[in-house]
Amino acid sequence: MNKVEKYLTLNNDITGFKSPKKKVVLVLTFMQGPEVEEWTKGMLQWIQQIDDHSNTDNVWRIFQRRFYARFTDTQADSMARKELVQLKMRFPDIDSYIADFEQTVRKALYRLGSHEMNQQFLSRLPKDIAEDVMCYPTPITYQEYTQKALASVWSKVLLRNVFGGNRNFGAFTPQQQRPQWNNPHPQSTPQYNSSNAP
């Protein structure tokens, strides 16, 4: 159905595709096989009973609802909700986490960018990254949450690469004073200027 909707959107300027009945018949044409044969026959009979006056966008919406009710996995959204609760970012795979999070939110039929989903995104980050995300300025949109999470991970990876190989790299080491060898009268090096130069 997703591909058909893309095709119809692409060809929206073609007169024939503006008719909801023709859109339904186009989809029914692509549906073949013994598993769908009876359903497509029933839908074709229904569409043939609709007169031109009743051929409104509502016909397409009714068909979509019936299609999804018949062919969508009814357990998919509840399984995705369980996945969402278990989904966690594994450092440093922030890109994978964002992609998996967005896909799972859509499968769970939640709204990406809602306050609840922003909080869910934040709660599944490692604590140090979540703290960076919440630093001022506090993010509001989902895009701001992801941008700050990406920046935090990238900076932590960079710092680990710079300092990870040598633990003492960049550490302050105090300079030790040179011993004086217990000489009570240290020799001083003569100081010269223009008036006492040899």
Tell whether 80 and 139 lie within a shared domain: yes
Tell whether 89 and 104 lie within a shared domain: yes
Tell whether 127 and 81 lie within a shared domain: yes
Whether the predicted model's global pTM rises above the 0.85 cut: no
* pLDDT recorded at residue 116: 95
> Is residue 6 in a domain?
yes
> Is residue 88 in a domain?
yes
Distance CA 109, CA 74 (A): 12
> Is residue 167 in a domain?
no
CA atoms in the 13 A half-sphere facing the CB of 156: 18
Tell whether 22 and 81 lie within a shared domain: no
* pLDDT recorded at residue 195: 66
The residue range of the domain holding 52 is 2-71
> Is residue 186 in a domain?
no
Tell whether 20 and 54 lie within a shared domain: yes
> Is residue 22 in a domain?
yes
**Which of 25, 21, 22, 10 is closest to 58 using CA atoms?**
21
Tell whether 110 and 141 lie within a shared domain: yes
Tell whether 89 and 67 lie within a shared domain: no
Cβ pair 110, 82 in contact under 8 A: no
Tell whether 7 and 34 lie within a shared domain: yes
* pLDDT recorded at residue 179: 53
* pLDDT recorded at residue 53: 87
> Is residue 120 in a domain?
yes
Tell whether 102 and 48 lie within a shared domain: no
Tell whether 84 and 48 lie within a shared domain: no
> Is residue 84 in a domain?
yes
Tell whether 89 and 113 lie within a shared domain: yes
Domain end (from 55, 71, 87): 71
* pLDDT recorded at residue 174: 46
Domain count, the chain: 2
* pLDDT recorded at residue 169: 46
Tell whether 105 and 37 lie within a shared domain: no
Tell me the pLDDT of the chain (198 aa) as tens digits.
777 778 778 877 877 778 889 889 988 988 888 888 898 999 999 999 988 888 888 888 888 888 887 877 667 888 889 999 999 999 999 999 999 999 999 888 899 999 999 999 999 999 999 999 999 999 999 999 999 999 999 999 999 998 875 554 444 444 455 555 555 555 556 666 666 666
> Is residue 12 in a domain?
yes
* pLDDT recorded at residue 31: 87
Domain end (from 29, 45, 71): 71
Cβ pair 129, 150 in contact under 8 A: no
